[in-house]
C-alpha cells in the first residue's frame, strides 16, 4: 500500500465510543490524514456542512440515530462522495443490505486497524483509479456467459463499485477471497479481479447469488464507465432479486 495515499485527506470518524473513535483517529492521523471526530450523527452532519470530507468511517449503532441514517442522508446529497465505511458489532444490517444502501464497505467488530487503513486508502482514490491497480491474477476463477447485458437484470446487475450476479450453486466462494471474473455478453466482455462481499442461495431458483466488489478492471472499463455515468443508481453493489 502507498503510505502517502491518505496524506492530506479529510476523514470523519463517527462513533459514540470515545476510546475506539480516538484509536481509529490516531491511526489515520499517523497516516497523514486530517481527522474530524463526531459522537453522533447530528454532530457528524454539522461537520459535513462545514468541511469537505473525503471519507466517512461510522459505527452503526449509536444513540440518537444510526450510521445507516447517516449513510442515507449523505448519499441523498451525493451518491459518489464521500465514500462511507460502516462498522458494526451487531447484526444490525447484512452486507447485502449495506452495499445496496450505498455503503462502500462494511467492517465487523473487532476489526484490524490495518484492514481499515487498507480499505480507506483504496476508497479515497479518485474516480476509476481505485479499479486500475496492478493486481495478481487469483487462482480462483469464475467465467460466465449471458445474452445481451440489458436482458439479464435478473441474473446480472452493475453497481457503482461492483456487480450482483447469479451462478450455479455447485461452487464455493469464500467471502474476501479474490476471484478472476470473466463475463461475456453478445455485445461486450468484462474481466477483472473481484472480491465476494456477500453470498446466498436464491429464494426463487436454486442458484447462488453473489455480491462482488471490483478491485481491478482489465477489460470493459469504457463500457462500465459509460454505464455508471448514465445510471449511477444508489447501490455500490446491487441487491439480489
pLDDT of residue 115: 92
14 and 110 inside one domain? yes
Range(s) of the domain holding residue 156: 141-230
Query: How many structural domains is the chain composed of?
Result: 2
16 and 77 inside one domain? yes
Q: How far apart are CA 168 and CA 156, in angstroms?
A: 13
From 38-42, 71-75, 142-146, 174-178, the region with the lowest mean pLDDT: 142-146
With a cut of 90, say whether residue 9 has pLDDT above it.
yes
With a cut of 70, say whether residue 2 has pLDDT above it.
no
Produce one character per residue of 6-45: b if its CB has 16 or more CB atoms within 10 Å, e if not.
Answer: beebbbbbbbbeeebbeebbebbeebebbbbbbbbbebbb
80 and 107 inside one domain? yes
pLDDT of residue 44: 96
What is the per-residue DSSP string for 160-179?
Answer: SSEEEEEEETTS---TT--E
158 and 64 inside one domain? no
With a cut of 90, say whether residue 221 has pLDDT above it.
no
Mean pLDDT of the chain: 88
**Confidence band for 149, pLDDT divided at 50, 70 and 90:** low
For the question of whether the overall pTM of this predicted structure is more than 0.85, the answer is yes
With a cut of 70, say whether residue 1 has pLDDT above it.
no
Amino acid at each position: 500500500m502507498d503510505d502517502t495515499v491518505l496524506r492530506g485527506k479529510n476523514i470523519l470518524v463517527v462513533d459514540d465510543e470515545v476510546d475506539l473513535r480516538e484509536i481509529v483517529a490516531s491511526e489515520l492521523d499517523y497516516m497523514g490524514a486530517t481527522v474530524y471526530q463526531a459522537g453522533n450523527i447530528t454532530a457528524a452532519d454539522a461537520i459535513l456542512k462545514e468541511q469537505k470530507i473525503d471519507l466517512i468511517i461510522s459505527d452503526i449503532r449509536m444513540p440518537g440515530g444510526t450510521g445507516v441514517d447517516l449513510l442515507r442522508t449523505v448519499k441523498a446529497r451525493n451518491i459518489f462522495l464521500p465514500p462511507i465505511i460502516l462498522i458494526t458489532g451487531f447484526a444490525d444490517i447484512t452486507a447485502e443490505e449495506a452495499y445496496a444502501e450505498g455503503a462502500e464497505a462494511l467492517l465487523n467488530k473487532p476489526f484490524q486497524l490495518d484492514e481499515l487503513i487498507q480499505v480507506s486508502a483504496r476508497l479515497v482514490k479518485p474516480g476509476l483509479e481505485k479499479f486500475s491497480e496492478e493486481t495478481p491474477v487469483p487462482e480462483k476463477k469464475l467465467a460466465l456467459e449471458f445474452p445481451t447485458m440489458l436482458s439479464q437484470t435478473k441474473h446480472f446487475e452493475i453497481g457503482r463499485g461492483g456487480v450482483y450476479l447469479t451462478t450455479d450453486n455447485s461452487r464455493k466462494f469464500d467471502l474476501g477471497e479474490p476471484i478472476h471474473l470473466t463475463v461475456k455478453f453478445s455485445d461486450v466482455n468484462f474481466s477483472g479481479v473481484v472480491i465476494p462481499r456477500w453470498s446466498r442461495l436464491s429464494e426463487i431458483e436454486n442458484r447462488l447469488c453473489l455480491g462482488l466488489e471490483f478491485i481491478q478492471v482489465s477489460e470493459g472499463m469504457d463500457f462500465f464507465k459509460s454505464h455508471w455515468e448514465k445510471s449511477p443508481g444508489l447501490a455500490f453493489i446491487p441487491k439480489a432479486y
